[in-house]
Amino acid sequence: MARRSKAYVICSDRPRAGKTLFARVLIEFLKRFDEMPGVFDTNVPAGDLITLFPKDTTLLSFERIRGQMALLDAIIAAPGRDYVIDLSDRITRLFFQTLDHVGFIEEAKTHGLDVVVFFILDGSPASAELAEHLVGTVPKAPIVLIENRVRSETDKRTGVHHAHPGLQGLLRMDIPDLDPIFINAINRPGFTFQDFFPAGALPLAPEGPAIPASMTHEIRRWLEGVTCQINQIHMELRLEDLMTDRS
């Protein structure tokens, strides 16, 4: 069975939820095992991803009709490639309403591409309600719920979504805690996760910022915890592809 391409949409209902950090890990994970994915950065005007991956990232405003059509048309026009879309919290509802309105998910499937949604919860009832709304809005797209523990203690609210009836049975991830000192290191200009993956799939990236040896183990441990879960999600999605092809 030929591997179906994916358009991974990373979203949340709030700013500073860890979307861009997760997008970075996912992009570099995909880069190691497949070609570099196409990246869409809707965080206008900041554009963190276009700074990190300038050759493969398109910065656009989805709040405008032109931006909406540019993103969707670009994906349909170049089948056979994976995509990562870092969605601004301001446009989460608009984005999925647009996908539903134009029948994008169904159209993309005819081109061999599936939409996969990673939704980062913040533990509040509003976050769980929006996630449930997306389940109803895009029922043909797998939704992966992420609990991101890379936050300050005062910002953590957990447990609300676990008992929410509309979210039962969805795929889930849990991004482990990481001390702010390591977050600062990751955010240094020139940092790449390629230096922290196990050797084998690709050569290590060339020059990057010097990371103290004391930090290397902790970043590698955290990265392994995240990428193991991404790999598990990949396996689940490919199993779904196989079952769909056989039905």
The beta-strand segments (E) located in 24-159 are: 38-41, 57-59, 83-86, 113-121, 143-148
Q: What confidence score (pLDDT) does residue 162 get?
A: 53
Nearest to 146 by CA among 82, 208, 233: 233
Q: pLDDT tens digits for 148-169? A: 887 534 345 554 455 566 788 8
Higher pLDDT, 159 or 49: 49
| Mean pLDDT, the chain, whole residue set | 82
Residue 128 CB: number of other CB atoms within 10 A? 23
Is pLDDT at 203 greater than 70 in this prediction?
no
Is pLDDT at 224 greater than 60 in this prediction?
yes
The CA-atom distances, in angstroms, between 6 and each of 84, 155, 238, 241 are: 8, 32, 11, 11
Q: What tokens appear for 206 in the block?
A: 């060339």
Q: What confidence score (pLDDT) does residue 142 get?
A: 92
Q: What tokens appear for 170 in the block?
A: 């969805």
Find the domain containing 64 and state its range: 5-246
Q: What confidence score (pLDDT) does residue 167 get?
A: 82
Q: What is the CATH number of the domain that holds 199?
A: 3.40.50.300
Is pLDDT at 91 greater than 50 in this prediction?
yes
Q: Is the pTM here over 0.75, yes or no?
A: yes
Q: What confidence score (pLDDT) does residue 240 get?
A: 66
Of the candidate ranges 84-93, 94-103, 142-151, the one whose mean pLDDT is the lowest: 142-151
Q: What confidence score (pLDDT) does residue 234 get?
A: 87
Nearest to 104 by CA among 125, 81, 75: 75
Q: What confidence score (pLDDT) does residue 229 get?
A: 94
Burial 156-175 (b: 16+ CB within 10 A, else e): eeeebbeebeebeebbbbeb
User: In the chain, pLDDT over 70 holds for what percent of residues?
Assistant: 82
Q: What confidence score (pLDDT) does residue 82 get?
A: 93
**Looking at residues 13-28, what average pLDDT do you find?**
91
Number of helical (H) and strand (E) elements in the chain, helices listed first: 8, 7
The total of structural domains in the chain comes to 1
**Looking at residues 40-69, what average pLDDT do you find?**
86
**Looking at residues 190-209, what average pLDDT do you find?**
61
